[in-house]
Amino acid sequence: MIDSVKSFLGWFFVTGDPMIYGADASIALVSIGIVAVLTYFKKWKWLWNEWLTTVDHKKIGIMYIIAALLMLFRGGMDALMMRAQLTLPNMHFLDAEHYNQVFTTHGTIMIIFVAMPFIFGLMNIAVPLQIGARDVAYPFLNALSFWLFFFGAMLFNLSFVIGGSPDAGWSSYAPYAGAEMNPGVGQNYYLIGVQISGIGSLATGINFLVTILKMRAPGMTLFKMPMFTWSILITSVIVVFAFPAFTVALALMTIDRLFGAHFFTIAAGGSPMLWANLFWFWGHPEVYIVLLPVFGIFSEVIATFAHKTLFGYAVMVWSMVAISVLSFITWLHHFFTMGNTAPVNAFFSISTMLIAIPTGVKIFNWLFTLNKGRIQFTTPMLWALAFIPNFTIGGVTGVMLAMAPADYQYHNSYFLVAHFHSTLIAGTVFGIFCGLHYWWPKMFGYMLDEVKGKWSFWIFMISFNICFMPMYFLGLMGMTRRMYTYPAGLGWTPINVVMSIGAAGMGIGFALMAYNIVWSAVRGKKDTTGDPWNGRTLEWATASPAAEYNFAHIPEIKSRDAFAAMKEARAAGHAETVPPYKAIHMPNNTGIPVIMSAFMFIAGFGFVFEWYWMGIPGLIGVVACMIARSFVYDDHHYIPVEKVKQTEAATGRLS
């Protein structure tokens, strides 16, 4: 009896590795600490009422960003561990198996639990404000999306200490990821954790598509929308059409592993290549899901700090549309080398190269926007300016990789790793940092410190180049991706040392940014005007942070850059009449999203371990929550006129 309990525990908890014991201890300590602090300060009720049950898009956005920053920390630790292992030849910091797990969790976390939720956070904060709306189309669904992402991420991360991490790469190729070659629960964690958060992403796509299509303030035609909103509209369309394919792919592999089906196995007629196709049919659009929104952010920031309207607005929009269409017909470039016929490779080679055209057009539009502008070098602007050359390197090397014959040389080498980090870091990560600094005052009502912000920018940006520029050459010298160590004497060592120095530098840059956040929370400059950057779009027309209802009066829009136009009219002395306030109708808070997602987590955990006694009740809980929601009719309340007046007076906006 005791022995069987012991052996169960030894299998259930990951054992034998000091790093994991460290993680166990720190998870336990942090959890106890959080519970203690909340209890001591009697904050449980506050947490529940203000955050866990909120349906306010601004708070949901903040929760997305906090979670994504924590995940960035975890993914960054994984990156540093890999760089530590590879710094010198024949190192034994990580063994082969552990290295596999670390690059898998690093890749998955960075894409699914950092890049996407960070972007979802920023769009939650900015889009409804930019279009002059009081919330998103479906506030309940929005909260549900967040909690599904959150619990999916928790489930995935649990694999580190309970049961073991997945190790088949973020792309999880069959047949290696199948039950036969990859027994145990690690891969199940990947499949189910990502599935749960993916359902949330799909819902977010639908939500923002409808929000932008149907809830714009009067007068805001599609071609008067801010560019960030445009980018989210297009991204949402991609989400709606790409994610279901991923849902299916993950489900099929789960069925393979749990119920012995043969979709992707080698035996009984399964087709491992089918997985590669399904995965990348989602996977390539996915990279545009994390890229187009940051194009939008850069467009806003560059226009704001060049003090000009965006150059070539319509062209910008149409090039994003072109990118979104092309993104669905390029997926095969991820496996040019896996036995396609020449005409097939040729088609996908050309379609991939075509994407460079609209992307290049956008780069020139940003440059022309800067041309003759009065450029102000704020922290967000520095991130945006650094994006242009660094991302272009990623784009150009992308075209190199797109040439199918040449890809036989580059494929799965560090050249590829350098390429996608050039796009994902210089594109997505610079973009989310840019957006973070730009919209921070709108989120919290105070600024991030500019001096520390600039230091963290320079350290991070220079270190990024130290880490990833040499990596291209390392790839050309033959070092392949996902190798956990290498022999001395190949001439790779100096470059690896330099890269690890760069990686450490990026860690320092990020740590400085985290310090800046904490410092500014205490001493940061208050934003009393609601418009600290002299912004051009509507989110700056309301207080920082915006009231629950965003706008006491829904603005009327007459032109692009609506707020800039309003300010000009004001300066020209046009008097504005403020109509009387009306009571405002808002959705109620609700606990169902968080409870339903918690059931999803329980179900997911059960299925990971194939404990159906746990998985099935979990699913029943999910359905019960849906039914409960269907019977809720009293889900709105009115904010009375008096309250609106008070709130507006408190921000000095009552005229």
Partner 1 sequence: MTDATLSLHEKDRSQMPIEYSTEEGDLRIVGFWIFLAAELVLFGTLFGTYLVLQSHTAGGPTAKDLFEIGPVMAETIVLLVSSFTCGLSTIELRRHNKRGLIGWLLVTILLGLVFVGLEVNEFYTYAVHEGAPLSRSAFLSGFFVLLGTHGCHVSLGIVWIIGILLQLGKRGITPVTARKAFMAGLYWHFLDVVWIFIFTAVYLTGWVI
- Which residues are near partner 1 by CB under 8 A? 133-135, 137-139, 202, 205-207, 209-210, 213-218, 240-245, 247-249, 251-252, 255-256, 259-263, 265, 267-271, 274, 278, 281, 554, 582, 584-587, 623, 627, 630-631, 633, 636
Least separation, in Å, of the C-beta of 88 and ligand HEM?
14
Residue nearest ligand HEM by beta-carbon distance: 107
DSSP 633: -
With vertex at residue 542, the alpha carbon angle to CA 536 and CA 548, rounded to the nearest 5 degrees, is 140
**What is the number of other CB atoms lying within 10 angstroms of the CB of residue 110?**
25
Least separation, in Å, of the C-beta of 289 and ligand HEM?
12
Q: Does 506 bind ligand HEM (CB under 6 A)?
A: yes
Of 14, 68, 110, 242, the one binding ligand HEM by CB under 6 A:
110
- Judged by beta carbon, residue 257 or residue 284, the one nearer Cu ion is 284
Dihedral sign (CA 208, 542, 60, 641): negative
Least separation, in Å, of the C-beta of 428 and ligand HEM?
5
Largest CA distance in the chain: 85
Measured between alpha carbons, how far is 105 from 350 in angstroms, rounded to an integer? 32
Site for ligand HEM in 52-81 (CB under 6 A): 76, 79
- Judged by beta carbon, residue 170 or residue 599, the one nearer ligand HEM is 170
Q: Does 560 bind Cu ion (CB under 5 A)?
A: no
Of 59, 62, 68, 103, the one binding ligand HEM by CB under 6 A:
103
Task: Measure CA 122 to chain center.
Answer: 9
Of 57, 58, 74, 83, the one binding ligand HEM by CB under 6 A:
83
Measured between alpha carbons, how far is 417 from 438 in angstroms, rounded to an integer? 29
- Judged by beta carbon, residue 286 or residue 527, the one nearer partner 1 is 286
Is 584 within 8 Å of 551 (Cβ atoms)? no
Least separation, in Å, of the C-beta of 170 and ligand HEM?
4
- When CB distances are held under 5 to 8 angstroms depending on the partner's kind, the choice from ligand HEM, partner 1, Cu ion, none that residue 424 binds is ligand HEM
**CB-based burial label for 41 (10 Å; 0-12, 13-18, 19+):** exposed
Tell me which H or E stretch contains 86: helix 57-86
Least separation, in Å, of the C-beta of 416 and Cu ion?
11
At residue 413, the 3 state secondary structure works out as strand
At residue 446, the 3 state secondary structure works out as strand
For ligand HEM (CB under 6 A), the number of binding residues is 26
- Judged by beta carbon, residue 475 or residue 615, the one nearer ligand HEM is 475
- Judged by beta carbon, residue 87 or residue 211, the one nearer ligand HEM is 87
Which residue type, as a one-letter code, is found at position 376? Q
Q: Does 437 bind Cu ion (CB under 5 A)?
A: no
Q: Does 411 bind Cu ion (CB under 5 A)?
A: no
- When CB distances are held under 5 to 8 angstroms depending on the partner's kind, the choice from Cu ion, partner 1, ligand HEM, none that residue 384 binds is none
- Judged by beta carbon, residue 98 or residue 482, the one nearer ligand HEM is 482
Measured between alpha carbons, how far is 102 from 233 in angstroms, rounded to an integer? 34
Kindly indicate which of the ranges 15-23, 99-107, 230-238, 511-519 contains the residues binding ligand HEM, using the contact rule CB under 6 A.
99-107
Which residue type, as a one-letter code, is found at position 201? S
- When CB distances are held under 5 to 8 angstroms depending on the partner's kind, the choice from ligand HEM, partner 1, Cu ion, none that residue 261 binds is partner 1
- Judged by beta carbon, residue 256 or residue 531, the one nearer partner 1 is 256
Site string for ligand HEM, 159-198 (x = CB under 6 A): ----------xxx---------------------------
3-state secondary structure 37-67: HHHHCCCHHHHHHHHHCCCCHHHHHHHHHHH
Which residue type, as a one-letter code, is found at position 69? L
Is 273 within 8 Å of 228 (Cβ atoms)? no
**What is the number of other CB atoms lying within 10 angstroms of the CB of residue 374?**
8
- When CB distances are held under 5 to 8 angstroms depending on the partner's kind, the choice from ligand HEM, Cu ion, partner 1, none that residue 586 binds is partner 1
Pure H helices in 291-378: 292-306, 313-326, 342-370
Site for ligand HEM in 381-440 (CB under 6 A): 417, 421, 424-425, 428-429
- Judged by beta carbon, residue 249 or residue 426, the one nearer partner 1 is 249
- Judged by beta carbon, residue 175 or residue 587, the one nearer ligand HEM is 175
At residue 526, the 3 state secondary structure works out as strand
- Judged by beta carbon, residue 143 or residue 289, the one nearer Cu ion is 289
Q: Which residues does 86 contact at the CB level (< 8 Å), separation at least 6?
A: 484, 485, 486, 496, 499, 500
Select from 354, 333, 476 the least CA-distant residue to 404. Answer: 333
Q: Does 109 bind ligand HEM (CB under 6 A)?
A: no
3-state secondary structure 243-307: HHHHHHHHHHHHHHHHHCCCCCCCHHHCCHHHHHHHHHHHHHHHHHHCCHHHHHHHHHHHHHHHC
Of 111, 316, 386, 586, the one binding ligand HEM by CB under 6 A:
111
**CB-based burial label for 26 (10 Å; 0-12, 13-18, 19+):** exposed
Site for ligand HEM in 457-496 (CB under 6 A): 467, 481-482
Of 74, 224, 284, 560, the one binding Cu ion by CB under 5 A:
284
Least separation, in Å, of the C-beta of 248 and partner 1?
4
Q: Which residues bind Cu ion (CB under 5 A)?
A: 284
Q: Which residues bind ligand HEM (CB under 6 A)?
A: 76, 79, 82-83, 103-104, 106-107, 110-111, 114-115, 169-171, 417, 421, 424-425, 428-429, 467, 481-482, 503, 506
